[in-house]
Amino acid sequence: MNHENPSFELFGIYFNPANIMMLFITCLIVFLIAFFSTRNLKMKPTGMQNFMEWVMDFVKGIIKNNMDWRTGGRFHVLGITLIMFVFVANMLGLPMAVVWKGELWWKSPTADPVITMTLATMVVVLTHFYGVKMLGAKGYFKTYLQPMPFLAPLKIIEEFANTLTLGLRLYGNIFAGEILIGLLASLGATSAFGLAGALIPALAWQGFSIFIGAIQAFIFVMLTMVYMAHKVDTDH
C-alpha cells in the first residue's frame, strides 16, 4: 500500500505524471461518452441520447432543489461536467491499480487529496465569484452578516470547513475503497486458498465501490449547488 508517487519538475513546479495521466484519461472518457452520445441528436431520443438527457435532467433536478432555475440555469453545464467527471474518476481505480517500479501509476484521480481539494477549492472559489457577480460586492459581504451579525466569524470558518469537507469527503471515500480493494487483491494473490477467500468479498466490495463512487459524485454536485445557492440566492 505504501507506493511512492512518480514526480518530475518543470519550471520549478513539481508535477505528478500519474495524476496528469489519470486526469487526462478521465477527461478523455468523459468527453468521448458525451461526444458520441450526442451525435445525430433527434427529437425522439434513442439509446445514449436518452442516457445523456437523463443525466441532464438529474443535474437539473439537483439545481432546482437548491435554487430558482433562472439563477441556477447557468450552473447546469458545470454540474453535468462535474458529475460525469467525478463519477468516471471514481470508477477508474476500481478494476485495477497499476504499480510500476514501486510507483503508483493507475488509480482513481479522486483518490488523491490534491486533486479533490483542487476541485473543492475551485467550486468554492466559483461560489464566491458568482456571489460577488450576482449580488454585487455589497450584497456579497452582507451574506456574512446573515442571519445574525455576531455569527460572522462562524460564517467565515464555514467557508473553509465547506472546502475541506467537500474535498476530503470525496478523497476519503474513494481512497478507502481503493485501499480495501488493494488489500483484498493482495490477499487473493497470496495463494489459491487466499484467492478463494478474497473472491467474494472483493466482488462485493467492488460492487459497493461502484455505488459509493456514484453516490459521492452525486453528493459532490449536490453540495456544490447547495454552496452556490447560499451565495447567489438572497432568499436562503
Sign for the CA dihedral angle at 224, 41, 210, 106 comes to: negative
- Extract the C-alpha cell encoding 124: 468554492
Please say which residue, 70 or 138, places its beta carbon nearer to other proteins: 70
Please say which residue, 202 or 228, places its beta carbon nearer to other proteins: 228
Nearest distance in Å: CB 55, other proteins: 9
Q: Give the DSSP H/E element, type plus range, for residue 73.
A: none
Please say which residue, 121 or 143, places its beta carbon nearer to other proteins: 121
Nearest distance in Å: CB 158, other proteins: 18
Instruction: State how far the Cα of 130 lies from the Cα of 229, in Å rounded to an integer.
Output: 10
- The number of C-alpha atoms within 13 Å of 209 and in the hemisphere containing its C-beta is 28
Cβ–Cβ contacts within 10 Å for residue 38, how many?
12
Please say which residue, 124 or 202, places its beta carbon nearer to other proteins: 124
Nearest distance in Å: CB 112, other proteins: 7
Nearest distance in Å: CB 81, other proteins: 4
Instruction: State how far the Cα of 61 lies from the Cα of 43, in Å rounded to an integer.
Output: 21
- Extract the C-alpha cell encoding 107: 488509480
- Which backbone phi and psi does 145 adopt, to 5 degrees? -95, 0
Nearest distance in Å: CB 14, other proteins: 5
What's the burial of 148, exposed, middle or buried (CB within 10 Å: 0-12/13-18/19+)?
Answer: exposed
Please say which residue, 107 or 231, places its beta carbon nearer to other proteins: 107
Residues lying near other proteins in the complex (CB under 8 A) are found at 2, 5, 7, 10, 12-16, 19-20, 23-24, 27, 30-31, 34-35, 37-38, 41-43, 45, 49, 52-53, 56, 76-78, 80-81, 85, 109, 112-115, 118-119, 122, 171, 175
